[in-house]
Structures are given as C-alpha cells and as structure tokens.
Amino acid sequence: MMAIKPREGLSSNSLPQIRYANVCWLCSSLVGIVVAIGCGGVSVGDLGGSNGTQTTRAALGKAIFFDTSLSTPKGMSCGTCHAANKGFADPRPGSTSEGVIAGRFGNRNAPSVQYMAFSPKFDPNGGTNGGAIGGQFWDGRAASLEDQVQGPMLNPLEMNNPSIDAVVAKLKVGPEAKAIKKLYGDTVFDDPAQAFAAMQDAIATFERTPEVSPFTSKFDAYLRGTAHLSDAEARGLALFNGKALCSTCHSSTPLPDGTPPLFTNFTYSNLGLPKNAYNPYYKNPSQFNPLGSNYVDYGLYNTTTRETDKGLFMVPTLRNISVTAPYFHNGIFQSLGEAILFYNTSQLGQVFGPAEVQQNVDTTVMGKLSLSSDEVQDLTTFLQTLTDGYVPKP
Ligand code: HEC
Ligand code: HEC
C-alpha cells in the first residue's frame, strides 16, 4: 500500500497566534472602520500573562459571550449556540440553529468554537497545493476571531440586531458597560465603532484562553504520559493515523512549537456530503431563503468565488467531537458511527445519496476504506478520548 503523507496544513509561518500574537488585530478587524484601540500600543498578545490585563479582558469577553441581553429581542447569547458543556456547540436538537426569532434557522450546523483560536488568519492560497487555509466559519469568510463576532450579532437568523449602533446601545446600558469603560477607556462609548471593536477584542481574548482550549482530554493525558489508552482506544488511534487516513486532514501530531495536536490542519475539502433533507433552513420564511430546498451550499466558493472551491468546507477539529453532535456543515449525521460509515463507504454506491456539490469531491483519501465494523467501533472509541475534562480513575 502506498504511504500516505499528512497534508501540509499549518506551516511554521502560518502558525496560530494564540500565545505570541503580536498582531494589531483591531486595526484590520472591522471592515472599513478604522479604530484606535490597541493599535500602536499594546497588542492583544502583549496583554497576556502576569500583568493580569488579559485575564480581565478575557473575563469581560466571557461575560459578553454569555450575555443574553445583546440580541433583538433579548434572550440569545453566543453561548446559546456555543454552550460550554457541549464543546461550545449548540446543545439544542436539530441540524442547524434556530435564531432569537422563532422559526428562523441558519443554513449550517453550529461548530465548536473550541481550539478555533489556533486557526491562522484566512489565506486563500496558503494551504495545500495553493488552496485556502484558516479563518473562521465553515467557509472561512471571517478572517479572524475578531471579524467573526460581527456575523452572529447582525444576522437576522441569529441575534438579529439591526446595526452595530444598536448592539453598542445595548452594551452601553448592559451589565458589562462599566468593565468595558475601565478596560478600554472612559470615552469608548463616544464612538460606536470603537465600542464595538472593544467588544470584539474582549470576546476574541476570551476565545483565546485555555478555558476555551484546555487540552485536558484523555488523549492529552496519554501524550503527557499520565494515562494509558485501552486496547480499543489504541487500535482506534492506529487506524486513525493509518488505514482510515483520518490524520491526513485531522492532524494528530503536535505543532512545531509544541502545541498538542489540534485534529485539524485548517484546510478545506469537499467530502461529497449529500443534501440534508431535514435542514430546517429550507423551511425558513422565503425572504431568508427564496430557494427553499433547492438551496445549494457552495461553502468556500462563497468566500473565494473560485470554481475549484465549490463544495469545500473547513476541516473542523475533532476535539470534543463526541459531545458536539450532529456532524458536518449541514448537521446530516447524528452519531459518530454514521459519520465514520460515510468515510468508510460513501464511494461504493449511492447508500448516502449523491453529493450536494458534485465538483471537487475528494475521492482519494476517503469513501472506500474497507474498515470492518469492529474497526469502525475502535475508531469511535478512540474519538471519545478527545473530550476535555478527563479525570483519571483512581
Ligand atoms: C443562532 C446560533 C448562533 C449564535 C447566537 C452564535 N453562533 Fe457562532 N456559529 C453558529 C453557526 C451556525 C456557525 C457556523 C456558521 C457558518 O459557518 O456559516 C458559527 C460559527 C462560529 C465560529 C467559527 C467556528 C468555526 O469552527 O469556524 C465562532 C468563532 C463563533 N461562531 C463564535 C460566536 C460568537 C462570538 C457569537 C456571539 C457574538 C456567536 N458565535 C453566536 C451559530 C451561532
Ligand atoms: C480529506 C480530508 C479529510 C479526511 C481524510 C477526513 N476528514 Fe473528517 N472532515 C473533513 C472535512 C473537510 C470536514 C467537514 C466537511 C463538511 O462538513 O462539509 C470533516 C468533518 C468531520 C467530522 C464532523 C465534525 C463536526 O464537527 O461536525 C467528523 C466526525 C470527522 N470529520 C471524522 C473523520 C474521521 C473519523 C476520519 C477518518 C475516517 C476523517 N474525518 C477523515 C476532512 C477530512
């Protein structure tokens, strides 16, 4: 059998900025709006460590993340769709997320926010063979965590605020107003762009904390030599890195700087997933989806408009995967068993239905893996070692 080389995903110059960020994120964060906070002085990364400032900004960001007064009407926070006890994914049933207005659904399954701090800034040509890498969202359309914040805040299918000014008006009278002024300056609310950027900075700072990327799974303990894998887990790991080819995209080795494996290389692929007939987005009021069930999600193509990107979606981390069902960008599978079955057999006929986007389907590393049902089980068992909060049995 030919040897499969892991795809180059993260190269050393695209390494994530989580600990050593020295980039003035805010200067480039809001499209078209130039803001002054943090620029030329301290950068987000500089605030880390012992002076405590980052902790405070992070605490503020956490409070905003879970503040349900910031939607229109009140009642929905980032945490509604990214719950801490569900791998920061949507704890509610359904393939995609319902917004604050009942009956309005987004088109995609809410992914985990965890470990997304390690996604490099979106680069349309920085990945394998000149393909895209990094960014936020399934299609990379937000370049950074800061950029990402604006999406859900203003999306009529999510938090439904009419404008940046409307969000800032809520922040100004909300429970975090005092802390925002303390950390970002007394006059921060004089300019809505500046106040909004402060919020983006605080949320992104929270998303970069070890609380959101804790590396406390059994697999991490195993890597540190403080836990043993069971026979089934060890067999699953060997399959993951070998016969099942998973690590080709869901990298299982530490980064050059010692960061433990992230189980994604942040590149993009079209796995040939079929349409999810039960995607509630199809039943949205027609002003939000005039095409109904004829809607096709072209993924990365929406961001780059390159034909070769039609149907590609970002490789998500598999950390905490056993608590973040349903799976894939359209939430089509409810269990890991089904997801692995798809990888195992999708190229063997039409068991799963035709690919929603037939162009660019990757048939080289998936779809006919010849895994036995025991092997599928072992892989599932291994994936369960990736859940954070592992407590060794005494
Ligand atoms: C109504 C549910 C909902 C709310 C509320 C929500 N999100 Fe999300 N979030 C999603 C969905 C769905 C996606 C994927 C969307 C896409 O790819 O087009 C997502 C994607 C993300 C991502 C990118 C993760 C990845 O793997 O690419 C981040 C980061 C994120 N959200 C943070 C936030 C923050 C911060 C807030 C609050 C300001 C928030 N979300 C509010 C549903 C929600
Ligand atoms: C060619 C690269 C590639 C390979 C090889 C690969 N994956 Fe994936 N994986 C992806 C991409 C891309 C997605 C998201 C696709 C989408 O939603 O359209 C994904 C999504 C997933 C998901 C759903 C994650 C979520 O948050 O919804 C699971 C589970 C998964 N992969 C497990 C595996 C396993 C197990 C293997 C090995 C049998 C594997 N993957 C091999 C690229 C790959």
The pTM of the full predicted model, rounded to 2 decimals, is: 0.89
Helix 53-65 vs helix 192-207: crossing angle, to nearest 10: 100
The angle formed by the CA atoms of residues 135, 136 and 140, to the nearest 5 degrees, is 65
Q: How far apart are CA 95 and CA 283, in angstroms?
A: 13
291-298 CB contacts, 8 Å cutoff, 24+ apart = 295/107, 296/356, 296/357, 297/107, 297/108, 297/329, 297/330, 297/356, 297/357, 298/357
**Cα 89 to chain centroid, rounded:** 9
Is residue 150 within 8 A of residue 30, CB to CB? The reply is: yes
Burial class (CB in 10 A: 0-12, 13-18, 19+), 350: exposed
The residue assigned the tokens 């030919």 is 2
**pLDDT band (50, 70, 90) for residue 315:** very high
Tell me the average pLDDT of the chain: 88
Ligand nearest, relative to CA of residue 199:
1
Residue 329 Cα to ligand 1 midpoint, Å, equals 12
Please name which of 25, 19, 18 lies closest in space to residue 200, comparing C-alpha atoms.
25
Is pLDDT above 50 for 12? no
**pLDDT band (50, 70, 90) for residue 348:** confident
Dihedral angle over CA of 131, 137, 138, 143, nearest 10: -10
CA atoms within 13 A on the CB side of 110: 29
pLDDT of 159-216, one tens digit each?
A: 999 999 999 999 999 999 999 999 999 999 999 999 999 999 999 999 999 999 999 9
Quick one: pLDDT at residue 349?
79
Residue 273 Cα to ligand 2 midpoint, Å, equals 10
**pLDDT band (50, 70, 90) for residue 373:** very high
Is residue 376 within 8 A of residue 340, CB to CB? The reply is: yes
Residue 139 Cα to ligand 2 midpoint, Å, equals 14
**For the chain, how long is the longest CA-to-CA vector?**
65
Structure tokens at 92: 């509610």
Task: Indicate the top mutation candidate among 118, 148, 207 to test ligand 1's pocket, ranked by most ligand atoms within 8 A of CB.
Answer: 148
| DSSP assignments along 168-204, one per residue | HHHHHHSTTHHHHHHHH-TTGGGSHHHHHHHHHHHHH
Quick one: pLDDT at residue 36?
30
For each of the domains in the chain, give its residue range(s) and CATH number, in order of start: 18-207 (1.10.760.10), 218-386 (1.10.760.10)
Task: Indicate the top mutation candidate among 68, 107, 113, 164 to test ligand 1's pocket, ranked by most ligand atoms within 8 A of CB.
Answer: 113
**pLDDT band (50, 70, 90) for residue 310:** very high
For residue 109, give the ligand 2 atom closest to its CA.
Answer: 27
pLDDT of 69-121, one tens digit each?
A: 999 999 999 999 999 999 999 999 999 999 999 999 999 999 999 999 999 99
User: Which residues, including other chains, have CB under 8 Å from residue 232's CB and lie 6 or more apart?
Assistant: 377, 378, 381, 382
Please name which of 273, 248, 241, 250 lies closest in space to residue 365, comparing C-alpha atoms.
248
CA atoms within 13 A on the CB side of 250: 18
